[in-house]
Chains A and B, each alone.
Chain A
């Protein structure tokens, strides 16, 4: 029986891991028994750049899949095969619940104000003992002070909680009253799975995670559904900035406090608990949120996304009862500052890195080779001369490969620790996969096998398109093109023969 998997990404880290998940699903990572993946980003920081670009990647994916495969549910493999969709796509009519916008984001209400105005919108607490309590609990630096706008009571909530889970808890408590959340509760059926991603060292994720578990499990009907969670512990620092509300010196203390709280409070509520951390090597610029919070993609986020794949693919009998929460870590074969495919174990290579390799071949061929093949028959048959520049499907595909996937790879390549599985800036496709070169074979100085050359690509693209055209009608041209990209990537992989491997001692 197929099921939907609801993936809640809380805060900036949640959004970044969903961004990585989007890339994995686009590459064709397989999901078994899953009908739809419903990513739901929960972030009060409406302008957070990490969230914004994740939403753009999700929207591009959705458009490509809809144009490529329509609403067909039998398509489950190949690029963009997984049905990744919005909450509003789950069911057309749920009685008693207002359908939310066709968006991947769950919107809070009434957050365009400061924390104190959120608690006391009509200023009724002035002089009251409750206000004394609030001032005792939260930073109440007086007006006129340099740091006044950064103090806890005066933080603007639509800019995020800036590392203050004590504020986040109060705000998340009101999530249950929003129409969108009511729709979430009603749309989840008994067979569906729920996965929650959060960081433990910030403000939004650490406070939102336990609150979200509580709010979801208040709904009796879905209390027994399988719950999975990924908690990301510190994997980066931020620069010191006395004017900022965020201080990475407090990351570890906050992590410890949150873990202690989770150990007590979340006992018996989660079936599978994934935990990730890395020694912080990178110091990001200290940005409190908004459009400036634009953290580069990190290997940890890619590994975090594999946790969602793992949870979605677990057979029902592998998920024990919530009393016996199963904990998962992720390890690589060898400690290094620069990671590539060779550092991973075979299971990850086969399930994650093989599809990513195919997708990277496809990206290079789509962005760099196909535009040079204007005179080839397959190019004309697919009417690419016109379609590549004017059709929304191809525009979205170009944006996905160039602005989303390529950028995501480059960011991971430049981050610390570096993840460099591919030489994406080299024109030679024989050198694309780090650690495994496709050898050019020569006899008496004459090339007998040039590997992945333009001539090879033209020939294979022509023949593959000719075969696909016989199987697929003209009105499925976008699907045919996605299939063509997948098959040419497989042909390239045949030249590579296998992913690189190395025995580390």
Chain B
């Protein structure tokens, strides 16, 4: 029976073949019936083919744009156990399609290998991932104005929780503050400025800066939350840093993901970014209870990533890559485009829709495509 399905490997999608297999076993089909089924499915698929010339782009744009009016603006979705806020709804879609490099709420879902996924040391692991600052372990800051020093007393239990020793801490602090002389004594670290006679204001500013000193963990990850999902422990984070997280041995790098598409492009490449766009937009649309076919999102994602770079749907992104001057001019900043076109002597060959609308000519999609040819004698 398997070879019946194998024959259609090239003509039908995998998922259809798999489902057909299930249906055939459920219905207890004979080989000839199964073959008939597959032929019927192939026939069905051919009937559903898109017609050449179909302006699928516009259909996709409509399919995403139309439900946009129905989406709510300020929905914040609570991930897992009512913890972190994540931009959802229309703002999130706009953020993704804009191709913004800095997103409002970066987030990661870190899946773990066994035994960590069973809950071993999950809290510890989470704390190790979280970016720690001096402020997290400091108990007290005291400013000595006459000496221009700042004493920071350290909460020993906090450092232990982070899996650090006092020595590690001092080393980390020294590395971050090369312009200061750092010394430690017992539970206090003393910072001394190299210039003397600092005003109180300057010292105070320095203190505020010290609080933000990076001492450990992974940069960019401001919050961590271990959660149990489907009988499996994992870590949800606010802030994202795939480059550092993925190589960790505890992390299941195949399932771990970030919602920062720009970062995904940098770390995992353009194909991953494309898939991330589809997934992220689909997540929002689904959470709003709307129904949009995934093919439309694929087309949008493919347009955004077609030339190997992650481009937003803006005048600087996808639209700027259009060949036609008039198409670009009709979108935004027309003067700029026309002037540049003049300088470079561009020629618009009128292959896209909008220029032909401007000139009252048939548009080159759909029924505007067929042409009549006449043999002249």
Q: Do A and B bind each other?
A: no
- B: residues with CB less than 8 A from A are none
Chain A interface residues (CB < 8 Å from chain B):
none
